[in-house]
A and B are shown apart, each in its own frame.
Chain A
Amino acid sequence: MGADVEMKDGDKKKETKEEEKKDEPVKALDVLEVLFENVALLEKSAASKGEPRFVAKVLRQTMAWRKKLTAQKLVDFLLASLDDSNPSKQSLVDLAGGEPSPAPPPPKPATPKRRSSRGKKQTEGDVDMVDAEGGETTATKDDTAGDANAIPPTPPTPAQNALPETEAYSHLLVLLFLLDANDPECKSASVAALNRLSQFNRRTLDALQARIVFYYSLAHERFGELAEVRPSLLALHRVAALRFDEMGQETILNLLMRNYLHYNMYDQAEKLRSKAQLPASRSNQQQCRYLYYLGRIRAIQLEYSDAKECLTQAHRKAPKLAKGFALELTKWITVVRLLLGEIPEKKDLTTAVSGGAAAQRALLPYLELTAAVRLGDLEKFRAVQEAHEAAFRADKTTNLVTRLRRNVIRTGLRRVSLAYSAISLDDVAQKLGLGEGDGDVEFVVAKAIRDGGIDATIDHDARTMHSSDATDVYSTGEPQAAFHARIAFCLDTHNEAVKAMRYPDKVKKGKGDGERKSAKDRDLEELAMHIMDEDEMDEF
C-alpha cells in the first residue's frame, strides 16, 4: 500500500479542488484516496440534511473510478471504513474476495502531536474537511506513514465509519465490483444490500439506495432472472411512495416498466404507468428512460404521434456518451416514423449516427426497410422482412414491421397517383405487387382515398383511377398548422428550460472576512461545475 502512493507530504497542500478533475495527469491519484474522500463527502451530505449535491458528486466520482477498483483496494477500503461491529462488514469483505494490502512498515517514532499535525495537513487537501475534522484524525491501521515519501490516504474517521451512508456506499462499491466482474454473487450481494438498507429510513440514503436497487435489477437481468425481481420491486416502490422518496420512486418505476417490457407485457406496463404517481424532480437519465419506455408502449398501442414525440424527446435529452441507448432510440424512431407515413432521411440512418461503423451495421435492416417503404415495393419489403427477421426479433420490433405492409402499399399508391392522371386498376395492382385478387385493388384504392392518403376517384365501369389535380396548399390551413406545431415546440422548450434552472441553495450573506467570502466563491464555483458536469454521462 505504501508503495504505490507517490505523494509527498508537502504536495498535499497544493491539492485543492484539482483532485476532482479526472484528467489530472501529473498526480497519480489512488483509488483509495478517492474513495475515502467520497466517504467524507457522504458525511457532509448527512450533516447538511440531504443536499443532493454531495451525494451526486460521490456517485459521479465513483462512476469515473469504477474501472480502477481491484479486489485488494476494495478490501482495504472496507476494512478501513466500516466499524468492526458493523454486521455487514465481514460478509462484504468475503464478497470482495481480495486480500488486504500488507501492512506498511512500522512508523518512525513520532510524537502523537506531530502525527496529528501531519494528519491535519493531510486533510487540508480536501479543503472542506477542515471544519469537519479538526484534530480528530485518529490513526487506524493504514494511517501510519512509512517514510516521508509514501503517505497513505487518510482513512475515514470512526464518526464517518458509523454512518449508515458509509455502509451503503460500501455495499454499492462491492456490488459494482462484482457486476463488472460478471460474478453471479452479485445477485445475492444486491439482495443482502437491500435487506440491510431497508432497516434504515433516512432521506440521505435515498440516492444510494436508488442506485443499489438499479444494480439489483441489472444483476438479475444479466443472469436471466428478471421475473423474480418483480414482486420485490413492487414492494420497494410502495415503500418509496410512502416515504416520499422521490428518487427511489422514479428509479423503481422505470425499473418496473423495463421489467414488464422485457417480457412484452405492454398492457401491464401501461396500467402501472397510468396509475403510479410520477414524482416531480426528475434526473435527466431517468427521464430519458421513462420517455423511451413510454414511447415503446405508445407505439405498440398504435398511437404513433405520441410515440414519436416521446422517443424524439428521449433522443434529444440523452447524454452524448449513451451511444447504445441512442442507437435503440434511432431504431424505434425510424419504425414509428415509417408507420406515420414519413420517410426518414437516409443520413439519419447512416452518417449522422454516432457510434461509427458498428452502429451503422446495426441500423442496416432499418435502412433497407426504409428503402423498401419509400419505393412502395411489396416484394422488396417482404424480402427485407424475411432477411432480417432475426434482427427485428431481437429488437422486439417484429410486429411493428409487419404493420408496415400497409404503409408500403399506401406509399406505392401515392407514387402511382402522382405519376398518372388516369390508370387502370389492373396496372395499379401490377405496380403494387398486389396480385390478381379480383376486386381487391379496388377496395384498397377506395380505402386509401377514404383515409385521405391519396386524392383520386375511381371509375367503376371503366376500372380506372383518376387522380385529382393538386390543390393549392397555401389556400388551405396547412401552413398555419405547420407553423403552429413549430411555435408550440419552441415555447415548450423555453418553458422547460426555465423550469430546469436552478439557483444555489444558500447565498451566504455578508461580505465578511476574506475566508468566508472565498468559501462562498468556492461553493458557487463547485455548483457551476456540478451543473456543467451533469451533462456528462455519469450514471450506469
Chain B
Amino acid sequence: MADIATAKKTLDALKKAHNSGDAVKAASLLGTLKIAVSSFPALPPVFEQTKTAADELSIARDTFEMAVLHAVTSGNEAAAERDHAQLRPFYVDCRGLMPDSKLEPLITGLNLTRLLVQNRIAEFHVELETVPARVADSAHVAHAVALESDLMEGAYGKILQASMTPDALPAKEYAAFMASLALTVREEIAACIEKAYESVDAAAAARLMGCAPADVAAVASKRGWRGDGNGGFLFAEEKKAPSAEDIPAHELINQTLMYAKEMERIV
C-alpha cells in the first residue's frame, strides 16, 4: 500500500528545506522521499491503476522535480541529468493523467541550458523538438533558445552581460549555469581574437573578453599568444615559403588510388 500521507509530509518538508537553502537537510529528505516513491505501484512503467494513482503520480513527479532543482543549485550536473531523465516519463507519458506541473517550464529551461553549457548542441536541438508548444512559449525555454542563438551567432557580448546581471534571468537557478557559460564564452572569444585581429593591445583584449587584464595574461600564455612588448599581442603569421609539404599528398594519393580501383572494376 502506498503511504501517501507520509510521502506528502516529507515532500513539504523538502520544499521548505530547499527554499531556505538548507542543502544538507534537503539532500537527506530527498533520499528518503525517493525510496518511498519507488514503492508506489502506479508509476510508469507499471501504471497500475490504484485508487490513489493520481496522487502517487503527482507526488513522484514533484519529488523528481525537487531533485533536479536541488542538483542544479548544488552544481551537480550529472545528477541533474539523471534526475531529469527520471522525470521525463512523467512529462511525456502521464500528460493526461494529472494536471500539468507549474515547474515544467523551469525544469525544461534548466535542462536545455545545461545541455548548452555542456556544448551538446545536437542533443539540445533534439530535446527542443520534443518540447510541447505550450512550454516552448514560456520565458524559460525562450531564454534558453535565445542563449543558443546568441552562442551560435557570436553575440557573446549579450551572453556576458546576461551572466553579469543575475536579475535578468528568469529564475535564480540559472545562475550556476551562467558562470560556466561565461567561461566557455571567454574561451570562444579568445579563439576568435586570434583569427580576427592582427594585433590587439592588452586593454582592448581585456575589454573584449570581459575580464581583468590578469586573466588576459593567463589566457594568453595558455594559448601561446606572442607578445609585442607593450603588453599587447600579435597574431599575424609569418609568411612561410611554399614548400613541398603543403601539397596534401596522402589525400591525393588515396583519391587517385580509389579512382583506379573503381575503374578496374568496370567490366
What is A's interface to B at a CB cutoff of 8 Å? 264-267, 270, 300-303, 393, 399, 402-403, 405-406, 409, 437-440, 442-450, 456-461, 477, 480, 484, 487-488, 491, 494-495
Contact yes or no, B248 A443, CB < 8 A: no
Least CB separation from B154: chain A residue: A447
Q: Identify 18 residue pairs between A and B in the complex whose beta-carbon atoms are under 8 Å apart, listed by A's number.
A: A265-B130, A266-B129, A266-B130, A270-B126, A300-B125, A302-B121, A399-B128, A399-B129, A405-B153, A440-B157, A443-B156, A443-B208, A447-B153, A460-B197, A460-B208, A480-B252, A480-B255, A484-B255
Task: Name B159's closest neighbour in chain A (CB-CB).
Answer: A443
Question: Given the complex, which residues of A lie within 8 Å of B176, measured CB to CB?
Answer: none
Decide if B266 is an interface residue (CB 8 Å cutoff): yes
A460 and B125 in contact (CB under 8 A), knowing A405-B153, A443-B189, A446-B193? no
B126 and A403 contact, CB distance less than 8 A = no
Chain A positions within 8 Å of B128 at CB level: 399
- Name the A residues within 8 Å of B123 (CB-CB): 267
Give the distance to chain A from B239, nearest Cβ to Cβ, in Å: 13
- Which of B122, B149, B201, B265: most chain A CB closer than 10 A? B122
CB–CB B196/A487 < 8 A: no
Residues of B within 8 A of A438 (CB): 157
CB distance from B194 to the nearest CB of A (A): 8
Contact A487 to B149, CB < 8 A, known contacts A443-B189, A445-B196, A450-B195: no
CA distance A442 to B123 in the complex (A): 29
Nearest chain A CB to B111's CB is how many angstroms away? 13
Q: What's the minimum C-beta distance from A443 to chain B, rounded to whole angstroms?
A: 4
B215, chain A: closest CB distance, angstroms: 17
Partner of B130, one of A264, A440, A459, A488: A264
CB pair B158 A440 closer than 8 Å: yes
Is B1's CB within 8 Å of the partner chain A? no
Residues of A within 8 A of B127 (CB): 267
Our pick among B126, B155, B258 for the contact of A443 (Cβ within 8 Å) is: B155
CB within 8 Å of A: which of B100-153? 121-123, 125-130, 133, 145, 149, 152-153
Contacts A406-B152, A439-B157; A450 near B125 (Cβ below 8 A): no
Question: Once the chains bind, are B192 and A450 in contact (CB under 8 Å)?
Answer: yes
Chain B: residues with Cβ within 8 Å of the partner, total of 42
C-alpha gap A484/B158 in the complex (Å): 42
Which B151-186 residues have C-beta < 8 A from chain A?
152-158
The answer to whether B197 and A267 touch across the interface, beta carbons within 8 angstroms, is no
* A-B interface, 9 closest residue pairs, ranked by CB to CB distance from nearest: A447-B154, A446-B192, A446-B196, A439-B157, A449-B196, A450-B195, A444-B154, A440-B157, A443-B156
How many A-B Cβ pairs are below 8 Å? 108
CA distance A457 to B207 in the complex (A): 18
Contacts of A494 in B (CB 8 A): 262, 266
Q: What 20 additional pairs, Cβ within 8 angstroms, besides A402-B149, A437-B155, A449-B196?
A: A264-B129, A266-B129, A267-B130, A301-B126, A302-B121, A405-B153, A406-B149, A406-B152, A406-B153, A440-B155, A440-B156, A443-B208, A450-B191, A458-B197, A460-B197, A460-B204, A477-B248, A491-B262, A495-B262, A495-B265
In angstroms, how far is the closest chain A Cβ from the Cβ of B150? 9
Chain A residues contacting B125 (CB-CB under 8 Å) are 300-302, 399, 403
Q: Does B200 contact A (CB under 8 A)?
A: yes
B124 to chain A, nearest CB (A): 9
Closest A residue to B242 by CB, please name it: A475
Contact B157 A443 (CB under 8 A): yes
Closest to B129 in A: A264
Q: B247-267 CB contact bits vs A (8 Å, 1 = yes)?
A: 010001001001100100110
A442 neighbours in B (Cβ, 8 Å): 157, 208
Q: CA A356 – CA B25 in complex, angstroms?
A: 68
CB distance from B19 to the nearest CB of A (A): 33
Partner of A461, one of B153, B204, B266: B204
A458 touches B196 (CB 8 A): yes
Complex-state Cα separation, A266 to B131, whole angstroms: 12
- A444 with B196: CB separation less than 8 A: no
Contact for A302 among B122, B154, B188, B248, CB less than 8 A: B122
Q: Does B198 contact A (CB under 8 A)?
A: yes
Q: How far is the CA of A443 from the CA of B200 in the complex (A)?
A: 14
Whether A460 contacts B154 by the Cβ 8 Å rule is no
Assess whether B197 is in contact with A300, with CB atoms less than 8 Å apart. Answer: no
B contact residues around A266 at 8 Å (CB): 126, 129-130
The answer on a CB contact under 8 Å between A409 and B191 is: no
Q: Say yes or no: B155 contacts A444, CB within 8 Å.
A: yes
How many angstroms from the CA of A461 to the CA of B208 in the assembled complex?
A: 12
Bound-state CA distance A190–B56 (Å) is 36
Residue contact B198 to A457, C-beta cutoff 8 Å: yes
Cα A487 to Cα B252 in complex, Å, equals: 13
Contact B197 A457 (CB under 8 A): yes
Contact of A446 among B122, B154, B201 (CB under 8 A): B154
Contact between B196 and A301, CB atoms less than 8 A apart: no
Nearest A-chain residue to B254, judged by Cβ: A484
Closest A residue, CB atoms, query B123: A267
Cα distance A449–B189 in the bound complex, in angstroms: 12
Given contacts A301-B126, A405-B153, contact A450 B196 (CB under 8 A): yes
Q: Which residues does chain B contribute within 8 Å of A301, judged by CB atoms?
A: 122, 125-126
Asked if residues B145 and A300 are in contact (CB atoms below 8 Å), the reply is no
Most chain B beta-carbon neighbours within 10 Å: one of A393, A443, A456, A459 = A443
Closest beta carbon of chain B to A397's beta carbon, Å? 11
Shortest B102–chain A CB gap in Å is 23
Most buried by B among A270, A402, A440: A440
State A402–B147 Cα separation when bound (angstroms).
Answer: 13
B154–A448 touching, CB < 8 Å: yes
User: How far does the alpha carbon of A116 sit from the alpha carbon of B93 in the complex, in Å?
Assistant: 64
Q: In the assembly, what is the distance between CA of A438 and CA of B155, in Å?
A: 10
Name the B residues within 8 Å of A270 (CB-CB): 126
**What's the Cα separation between A491 and B266 when bound, in Å?**
10
Interchain nearest-CB distance for A214 vs B (Å): 25
Q: In whole angstroms, what is the CA distance A405 to B198 when docked? A: 28
Tell me if A444 and B259 are in contact (CB < 8 A). Answer: no
